Amino acid sequence: MSKITLQMVVADLDRLPALPEVVQDLMDYLQRPEVDVGQVAYRLARDPALAAKLLRVANSSFYGLQSQVSTIPDALVVLGLRAVRTLVTGAAVVTHLQTLVVAGYDQRALWLHSAGTALCGRILAREFGANAENAFTAGLLHDIGQLILAARFAEANRRVWAYRAEHDCHPIEAEREVLGFDHGQIGAALAARWKFPAEIAAAITSHHTPMDQAAGSLAGLIHLADVMAHVLGFPGGKDDLVPRLSSLAWNRLGIGWGEFKRLLGEVDAQRDDAERLLN
């Protein structure tokens, strides 16, 4: 039984397959202060699968379009470039990491939960006036550390799962007990490596401990989004366990339970978007 450290896992991130060149190029281009829609469309067209996914997302109910958009330039106009940057990133990361195949690990459940949390994060951000695109991406990636652990450190991961099965506890408790670090820290390191905004990395690190971050931070939103996704059955199943909702994080948001139920309803109405994102 070999001991692994957070440093070992972070160093190993370099060995994950790199983001495709088209995606990296597009993300770099979208960082510029002034971008040209024609250039973005041209770059996107080099990756037809990504372009198709972007169109699917643009046509999802969240954006409430009166009619369907069928071309990339139309989608860019409808979504706005900031949204496109996040969506491109999110779609690319999901497509990319879906290629990590892990024997005996239910990747589908992880992605369903991730997509559900992304939807919840987006709706909460809209409700609280935060950046919806960052909330979406943070929701999508908040548990990515679990996948990395399973894919790259299978033996250590098996020990974590054995502990979970024995104690019927939350993944994060098993990870801290068995490894001494957790999936939030791994995910944040990946987000930093891929040069995502700092608030996304912070939200991934602290999604189970939002009290470590200031009031109004993205971590608080993703913390609640994670809880919402679990209660809405993303992913569902007999092992699913609702995470502990922090009273401090809840009180900071200052909403009532009636409003919470309304938000659950809003997410439920967009359930199909989660499937669209994954397929």
Partner 1 sequence: MMATIRKILLDQALPGMVLGEEVTSASNTLLPRGTVINTGHIDGLRRREVTEIVVLAPSELSAAEIEERREALRGKVAHLFRQAGTDATMQALLRAVLEYRLEKLE
In the complex, what is the shortest distance from the CB of residue 4 to partner 1, in angstroms, rounded to a whole number?
26
In the complex, what is the shortest distance from the CB of residue 152 to partner 1, in angstroms, rounded to a whole number?
28
Nearer to partner 1, 126 or 252 (CB): 252
The closest of 22, 2, 44, 48 to 178, measured between CA atoms, is 2
Question: Does residue number 168 form part of the binding site for partner 1 (CB under 8 A)?
Answer: yes
Question: Does residue number 164 form part of the binding site for partner 1 (CB under 8 A)?
Answer: no
Question: Does residue number 250 form part of the binding site for partner 1 (CB under 8 A)?
Answer: yes
CB 172 within 8 A of CB 183: yes
Nearer to partner 1, 154 or 242 (CB): 242
Residues 200-239 binding partner 1 (CB under 8 A) are: 227, 230-231, 238
Q: What is the rounded distance in angstroms from the CA atom of residue 118 to the CA atom of residue 136?
A: 4
Nearer to partner 1, 28 or 275 (CB): 275
Residue 236: C-alpha distances to residues 72, 109, 228, 242, 249 (Å): 35, 8, 12, 10, 24
Residue 96: C-alpha distances to residues 22, 123, 205 (Å): 12, 25, 21
Residues 6+ away with beta carbon under 8 Å from 160: 149, 171, 174, 175, 178, 179
Q: Given candidates 245, 270, 271, 276, which one binds partner 1 under the rule CB under 8 A?
A: 245
Question: Does residue number 260 form part of the binding site for partner 1 (CB under 8 A)?
Answer: yes
Stretch of residues binding partner 1 (CB under 8 A), selected from 44-52, 84-92, 117-125, 162-170: 162-170
In the complex, what is the shortest distance from the CB of residue 113 to partner 1, in angstroms, rounded to a whole number?
13
Question: Does residue number 18 form part of the binding site for partner 1 (CB under 8 A)?
Answer: no
Q: What is the rounded distance in angstroms from the CA atom of residue 61 to the CA atom of residue 76?
A: 16
Q: What is the rounded distance in angstroms from the CA atom of residue 49 to the CA atom of residue 95?
A: 9
Q: What is the rounded distance in angstroms from the CA atom of residue 171 to the CA atom of residue 142?
A: 13
Q: What is the contact surface with partner 1 in residues (CB under 8 A)?
A: 168-170, 227, 230-231, 238, 240-242, 244-247, 250, 257, 260-261, 264-265, 268
